[in-house]
């Protein structure tokens, strides 16, 4: 790997010299092929469908150049598909692409892409590494390079050639649900890690091996309030010197692709490149000719592929899911389009735009030239078909790679508190393993692990994986280890120490974002988290020595939890190798520490529940001015533990005494309920947006009241019933799905008054097919982060007692409050959620105050 240049301030966008320079012979080959391609063939290279919505026949008919598998999409729908199954699948598409060019006098190899973001994490049996937030704490670029190399070997073993990694974001707001995808809040770590991972993935000369993709261009970690797909408002100097740092060093290392962010950048510089297209440009980065073409391609000089995120073009003004014209004209080279109808429409409409002159032929040629260049640099013309490649599938999850992962876990753990003498624990200790994370592999592995949210994986899905409980048992033996997450049976006094494992449930984008009005207080986010705090209180009262291991995708307000612990370890999202945790907690067999802690915080640890955006002031930026959307790291929001903090076992017992706890109390008075809140079918028409979300339905489409809306997870159709305006038929198809009504402003309402007035959430329903499983009523769009009330028994009873008849369902608001719903900040007053099937007709949805 080339020597890393120091991080410096760039007053302007720099020209970057890539480690993979232009090769005149390659460029000549590209021009020869490009000159012989039809427009339709060129567009085929620019469209990337996903496995579930593509067939080999499609590849042949449209000359498709690449495909991908999203999280939770596997050959035959089998989450435990083997490496051999993947090779056979990719091979069929590769063969179809070859046949697409029969008789044309040239060929263009096919390439398969995947989201291998912490190991080859979509594939059964692959090695799972800690998420980036933990790796950043290790401060070890060489380790990152080795992880990249090992991951590339496993990717190649499944016949794939492109990974959408590494993520080089610099996250600045802890409420963001993708926060853990960043290495650090300060760009110095990102600057060092991006080239290390690129070099590892792509090979020693940064121009061979698996193709790397740095993402998401740019400032996705700088959105206001940590909004997922939100808006960055920081000035261009901070975009360049905080958020683009990893892109600059990654491109210098030879990264061959860049993925654009879903988010927006609000700036006069971010101009509307085609006002004649109609709708004013909405600053979405997928439509930013300034940042994609003027800056990334021309000023920086990036000559690889610029690829969209999943259906992200659909959020750009002037585009729809089936028309990406404005985004293509802005500079997007490859469109990641999921649905079959959508990608075929994108192909068709792009050709229409070219023929009408709205997209120039030069823009299409630039895109295809970049695709061919990257494929040639990766050696795909000389690479045999996947079935004939020589990478041994046994490399998946091999001992060598698992050892690297375990090393990464050890190096990433940060010791925040340690009463002298607590650690290391004797291997003869009688250990009580408690806490919600004691035996929960999902809390360790986090999102993007086999499935999108990673919240439904089990140990059977992750061969060889260990929970902390497993790892403790391996050290002390079954007879000295008791596992009791909530102290329902165990007697703490019968044990020498309690290892209490707590932390966030698994989540990925969207589902992990904390609302702008939310806090970082761990125990306040979910009732299960509050039980963890109660467990620690009970252990403290019993006098038991407590070692707390905290899993999280962000720093969180945990001051009371730290005060209740003799040692407190930030373990982030370490993956499957919990032995890396016990390597540090327990003494070596011969006595004394087996390893010492070396992790250092890549993020400031909050001292209050409202310290969302406290970040180290970047020392490389002269005269740094704190942006309005961030909080100064001093005064009220001075970090509890500063960036770079991390104890060693021999350090003095810091922090000493009891840390000051946040005593803030929200005293906002409860507003009175002001009449009924009409949601659907009220006298004043629709005041709420009604939308669908769920499995692989990332764009959350609006439900149409003019005709059917049919997506993967739900089919909706308006009912022709004058007595029930805006009535809907909803067919839930058996995927994780939610239908919800949201205020178009996105602002929450304080509806506590409805509970005080004895009010209810009510609706009329006709049950045509009873729910096959739980069907929840919730009043937030982040279920299951917020609780829901299961209506399935009531709906099944209606289906049996009143088949085909309209009935009224009434749920007391107080009942929603009792299960933990936040009634003070209701942004979605009505949601139905299920993972099963059901067919309902719905009408007259409202909140009412008091009794009718």
Active site positions, annotated: 309, 509
Query: Pairing relation of β-strands 305-307 and 257-260?
Result: parallel
Please report, for residues 29, 52, 364, 371, the alpha-carbon distance to residue 47 in angstroms, rounded to integers and kept in the order given: 22, 15, 12, 11
Q: Give the burial class of 704: count Cβ atoms within 10 A of its Cβ; 0-12 exposed, 13-18 middle, 19 or more buried.
A: middle
Q: Are 677 and 829 in contact (CB under 8 A)?
A: yes
Distance CA(319)–CA(325), nearest Å, equals 7
- What is the chain's length? 852
Nearest to 13 by CA among 291, 212, 288: 291
Which residue(s) pair with 158 in the sheet?
none
Distance CA(42)–CA(839), nearest Å, equals 43
Distance CA(519)–CA(355), nearest Å, equals 52
Six-digit token pair at 187? 């760009």
Distance CA(683)–CA(675), nearest Å, equals 13
Distance CA(188)–CA(619), nearest Å, equals 9
Half-sphere exposure of 633 (CA within 13 A, CB side): 19
Sign of CA dihedral 646, 649, 651, 652: positive
Please report, for residues 491, 494, 545, 570, 577, the alpha-carbon distance to residue 432 in angstroms, rounded to integers and kept in the order given: 9, 9, 10, 19, 20
Query: Beta-strand (E) ranges in 264-397?
Result: 264-265, 305-307, 335-336
Place of tokens 């304080």: 750
Distance CA(185)–CA(643), nearest Å, equals 8
Which phi-psi region, left, alpha or beta, contains residue 482 (left: φ > 0; alpha: ψ -120 to 50)?
beta
Three-state DSSP class for residue 568? strand
- Phi–psi pair at 485, nearest 5 degrees: -55, -40
Longest dimension (CA), the chain: 81
Rg (C-alpha) for the chain, rounded Å, is 27
What element of type H or E holds 845?
Answer: strand 837-848
């Amino acid at each position: 790997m080339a020597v890393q240049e120091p991080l410096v301030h760039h007053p302007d966008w720099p020209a970057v010299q890539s480690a993979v320079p232009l090769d005149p012979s390659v460029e000549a080959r590209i021009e020869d092929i490009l000159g012989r391609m039809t427009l339709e063939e060129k567009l085929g290279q620019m469209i990337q469908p996903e496995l579930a919505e593509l067939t080999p026949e499609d590849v042949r008919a449209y000359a498709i150049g690449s495909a991908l598998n999203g999280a939770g999409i596997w050959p035959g729908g089998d989450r435990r598909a083997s490496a051999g199954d993947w090779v056979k699948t990719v091979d069929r598409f590769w063969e179809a692409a070859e046949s697409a060019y029969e008789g044309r006098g040239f060929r263009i190899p096919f390439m398969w892409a995947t989201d291998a973001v912490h190991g080859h994490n979509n594939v059964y049996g692959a090695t799972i590494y800690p998420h980036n937030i933990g790796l950043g704490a290790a401060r070890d670029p060489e380790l990152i390079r080795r992880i990249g190399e090992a991951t590339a070997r496993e990717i190649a073993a499944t016949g794939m050639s492109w990974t959408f990694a590494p993520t080089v974001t610099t996250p600045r707001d802890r409420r963001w649900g993708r926060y853990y995808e960043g290495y650090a809040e300060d760009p110095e770590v990102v600057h060092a890690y991006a080239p290390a991972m690129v070099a590892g993935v792509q090979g020693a000369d940064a121009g061979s091996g698996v193709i790397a993709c740095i993402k998401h261009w740019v400032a996705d970690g700088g959105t206001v309030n940590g909004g997922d797909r939100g808006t960055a408002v920081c000035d261009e100097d901070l975009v360049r010197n905080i958020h683009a740092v990893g892109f600059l060093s990654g491109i210098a290392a030879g990264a061959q692709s860049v993925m654009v962010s879903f988010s927006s950048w609000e700036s006069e510089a971010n101009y509307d490149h085609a006002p004649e297209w109609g709708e004013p440009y909405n600053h979405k980065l997928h439509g930013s000719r300034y940042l994609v073409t003027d800056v990334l391609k021309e000023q920086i000089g990036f000559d690889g592929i610029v690829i969209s995120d999943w259906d992200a073009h659909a959020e750009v003004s002037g585009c729809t899911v089936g028309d990406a014209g404005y985004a293509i004209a802005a500079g997007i080279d490859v469109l990641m389009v999921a649905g079959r109808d959508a990608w075929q429409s994108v192909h068709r409409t792009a050709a229409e735009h070219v023929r009408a002159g709205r997209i120039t032929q030069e823009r299409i040629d630039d895109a295809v030239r970049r695709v061919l260049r990257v494929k040639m640099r990766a050696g795909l013309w000389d690479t045999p078909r996947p079935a004939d490649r020589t990478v041994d599938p046994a490399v998946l999850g091999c001992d060598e790679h698992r050892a690297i992962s375990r090393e990464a876990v050890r190096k990433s753990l940060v010791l925040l508190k340690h009463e002298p003498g607590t650690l290391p624990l004797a291997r003869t200790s009688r250990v009580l393993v408690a806490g919600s994370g004691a035996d929960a592999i999902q809390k360790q592995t986090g999102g993007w692990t086999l499935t999108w949210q990673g919240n439904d994986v089990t140990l059977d899905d992750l061969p060889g994986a260990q929970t902390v409980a497993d790892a403790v048992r391996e050290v002390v033996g079954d007879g000295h280890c008791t596992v009791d997450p909530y102290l329902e049976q165990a007697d703490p006094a019968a044990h020498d120490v309690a290892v209490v494992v707590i932390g966030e449930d698994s989540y990925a984008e969207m589902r992990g974002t904390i609302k702008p009005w939310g806090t970082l207080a761990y125990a306040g986010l979910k009732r299960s988290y509050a039980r963890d705090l109660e467990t620690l209180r009970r252990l403290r009262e019993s006098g038991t020595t407590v070692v707390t291991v905290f899993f999280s995708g962000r720093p969180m307000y945990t001051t009371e939890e730290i005060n209740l612990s003799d040692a407190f370890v930030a373990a982030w999202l370490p993956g499957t190798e919990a032995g890396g945790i016990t390597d540090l907690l327990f003494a070596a067999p011969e006595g004394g520490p087996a390893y010492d802690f070396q992790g250092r915080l890549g993020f400031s640890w909050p001292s209050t529940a409202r310290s969302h955006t406290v970040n180290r002031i970047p020392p490389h930026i002269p005269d740094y001015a704190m942006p309005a959307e961030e909080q100064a790291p001093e005064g009220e929001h001075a970090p509890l533990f500063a960036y770079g903090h991390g104890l060693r076992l021999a350090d003095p017992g810091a922090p000493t005494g009891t840390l000051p706890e946040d005593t803030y109390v929200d005293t906002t008075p409860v507003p009175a309920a002001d009449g009924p809140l009409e949601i659907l079918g009220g006298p004043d028409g629709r005041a709420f947006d009604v939308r669908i979300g769920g499995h692989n339905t990332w764009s959350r489409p609006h439900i149409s009241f003019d005709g059917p809306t049919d997506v993967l997870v739900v089919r909706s159709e308006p009912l022709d019933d004058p007595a029930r305006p805006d009535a809907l038929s909803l067919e839930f198809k058996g995927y994780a799905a939610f239908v919800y009504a949201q205020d178009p402003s996105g602002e929450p309402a304080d509806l506590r008054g409805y509970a005080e007035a004895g009010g209810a959430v009510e609706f009329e329903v006709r049950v045509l097919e009873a729910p096959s499983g739980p069907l929840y009523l919730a009043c937030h769009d982040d279920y299951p982060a917020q609780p829901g009330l299961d209506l399935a028994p009531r709906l099944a009873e209606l289906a049996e007692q009143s088949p085909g008849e309209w009935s009224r369902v009434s749920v007391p608001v107080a009942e929603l409050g009792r299960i933990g719903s936040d009634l003070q900040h209701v942004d979605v007053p009505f949601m139905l959620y299920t993972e099963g099937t059901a067919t309902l007709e719905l009408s007259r949805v409202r909140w009412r105050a008091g009794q009718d």
